[in-house]
């Protein structure tokens, strides 16, 4: 188990982050799910001459939002030298068309639809892995998820063969839309960083409950933001650096 770092240490670790001025390679991904639902994602990595391998961070957004709401976190991660995968979960953003090309919103999904989120994520990552065989993206990777994205992150990590090194959770819940995580959390042997907002007593209580199921370190942090999920990044600009600092300790 890696040692637990204070937030001050995380900031100090981030100070020497390299800035990639040579640009970013960006690819738009379209990966059909098992039932034909079209799952969209953006896949980016720094354009660095001669570099063939990138450590990767996967971002899973909040319920009702999309991958466009991550504020400055993708930029911070790219500047730190990571590849970034931002997935629009089923019924959100650009991932709104089923096999019949009928538009489907998250608002109309039942729990059976939400239950497909972890498989959708695994499918997208396998697609990227197979289509970019000349580069290594998933030997050394992490997931950041917000509320329903946090629950999806735990369930996807349990399903996928190549495990992430760490997971960052923003406002996780015990169960949302049928995505219940305590049992699957107990299957994972990796350190987890969980963030809740100031005044979110329910979120902090949930973190303490989930900590009981963790098989490795389950570190909690309270943001100055009074919001929840990925919106904490909008109201607390320090969070992107804090999250990136945590990830730096595991993707090395």
Mean pLDDT by 10 residues, the chain (252 residues): 40 33 83 94 91 92 97 96 97 95 96 98 94 81 98 98 97 97 97 96 95 97 96 96 97 86
At residue 206, the pLDDT reads 96
- Residue 216 contacts residue 4 (beta carbons within 8 Å): no
At residue 210, the pLDDT reads 97
239-248 vs 7-14: helix axis angle to the nearest 10?
80
Helix (H) or strand (E) holding 251: none
Superfamily name with CATH number, domain 7-248: Alpha/Beta hydrolase fold, catalytic domain (3.40.50.1820)
Q: Which of 228, 225, 212, 220 is nearest to 246 (CA)?
A: 220
At residue 3, the pLDDT reads 47
Rounded distance between C-alpha atoms, residue 23 and residue 44, angstroms: 10
Structure letter (DSSP) for residue 4: P
The ranges assigned to domains in the chain are 7-248
Extract the tokens encoding 91. Answer: 């019924």
At residue 8, the pLDDT reads 32
- Residue 4 contacts residue 46 (beta carbons within 8 Å): no
Rounded distance between C-alpha atoms, residue 119 and residue 115, angstroms: 8
What are the strands of the beta sheet with 191-197, ordered from one edge? 24-32, 38-46, 83-87, 56-60, 141-146, 166-170, 191-197, 218-223
Rounded distance between C-alpha atoms, residue 173 and residue 228, angstroms: 11
Rounded distance between C-alpha atoms, residue 112 and residue 156, angstroms: 16
At which residue do the structure tokens 């020497």 appear?
Answer: 16
Structure letter (DSSP) for residue 71: T
117-131 vs 148-159: helix axis angle to the nearest 10?
60
pTM above 0.85, yes or no: yes
């Amino acid at each position: 188990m890696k040692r637990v770092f204070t937030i001050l240490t995380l900031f100090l670790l981030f100070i020497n982050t390299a800035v990639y001025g040579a640009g970013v390679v960006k690819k738009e991904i379209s990966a059909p799910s098992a039932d034909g639902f079209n799952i969209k994602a953006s896949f980016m990595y720094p354009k660095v001459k001669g570099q063939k391998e990138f450590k990767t961070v996967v971002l899973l957004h909040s319920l009702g939002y999309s991958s466009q709401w991550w504020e400055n976190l993708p930029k911070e991660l790219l500047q730190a030298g990571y590849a970034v995968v931002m997935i629009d979960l089923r019924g959100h953003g650009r991932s709104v068309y089923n096999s019949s090309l009928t538009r489907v919103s998250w608002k109309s999904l039942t729990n059976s639809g939400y239950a497909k989120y972890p498989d959708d994520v695994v499918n997208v990552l396998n697609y990227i892995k197979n289509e970019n065989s000349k580069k290594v993206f998933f030997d050394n990777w992490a997931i950041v998820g917000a509320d329903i994205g946090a629950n999806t992150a735990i369930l996807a990590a349990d399903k996928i063969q190549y495990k992430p090194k760490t997971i960052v959770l923003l406002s996780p819940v015990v169960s949302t839309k049928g995505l219940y995580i305590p049992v699957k959390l107990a299957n994972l042997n990796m350190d987890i960083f969980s963030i809740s907002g100031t005044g979110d007593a329910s979120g902090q209580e949930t973190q303490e409950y989930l900590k009981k199921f963790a098989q490795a370190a389950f570190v909690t942090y309270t943001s100055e933001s009074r919001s929840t999920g990925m919106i904490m990044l909008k109201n607390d600009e320090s969070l992107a650096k804090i999250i990136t600092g945590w990830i730096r300790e595991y993707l090395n």
